[in-house]
Structure 1
């Protein structure tokens, strides 16, 4: 589990989801792009919530370890989508009209 601080809110998210979110934020910032990502999280009160993170070059995002032993909400589908987005941005498909 990781603690994610976004603006003035803090969420608890599974480590793999937090790491994918952080990596996607880095890739978007490098590309000068932006996107919104919704993940299942635990709020600072321990409530299950869905949080939408607007990611861009100036996103204040902090990901840090926590010793929390609560079960993290499942974000398997969202993690897969984030990894696909990261891959598409890092390895854009050829446009087909380029000359060898």
Structure 2
């Protein structure tokens, strides 16, 4: 379990979700983008709630370990989505070069 500090508020979240969120925030910042991410967190009142984080180049966020014995909220789908978003930005899909119309017509012709 880790404590995530964002916009003068601290919440608890599982290690994998906290690590994925801070990594995605860095990637977003490095590429000049912005995005929102919703995670299930434990708020200061001890309730499990959904929290939405706005990530930009100016986002101030800190993640630190805790000694909490609470069970972390489930965020496995959100963590997978964050990893996918990171991959899309860091490893963009390679486009195949388009063949010219002349090459296509030669392939389809009966001349050969």
User: Is the pair's TM-score, using the shorter chain for normalization, greater than 0.5?
Assistant: yes
Q: Within 5 Å, which residues of 2 pair with 1:64-79?
A: 64-79=64-79
TM (norm. structure 1) is 0.94
Distance in 1 (alpha carbons) for counterparts of 2:85 and 2:5? 22
Q: 1:38-90: per-residue Cα shift (whole Å, max 9, x none)? A: 00000011111100000011101010001011001100000000000001100
Partner of 2:28: 28
Distance in 1 (alpha carbons) for counterparts of 2:33 and 2:97? 24
**Residue aligned with 1:53, SS:** strand
Judging by fraction of residues, say which structure has more strand.
Answer: 1
Q: Within 5 Å, which residues of 2 pair with 1:15-94?
A: 15-94=15-94
Partner of 1:13: 13
Q: CA RMSD in A?
A: 1.3
**Residue aligned with 2:87, SS:** helix
Distance in 1 (alpha carbons) for counterparts of 2:4 and 2:36? 15
* CA-CA distance at 1:93 after TM superposition: 0.6
TM (norm. structure 2) is 0.85
* CA-CA distance at 1:95 after TM superposition: 2.8
Aligned residues: 99
* CA-CA distance at 1:96 after TM superposition: 2.8
Rg bigger for which structure?
A: 2
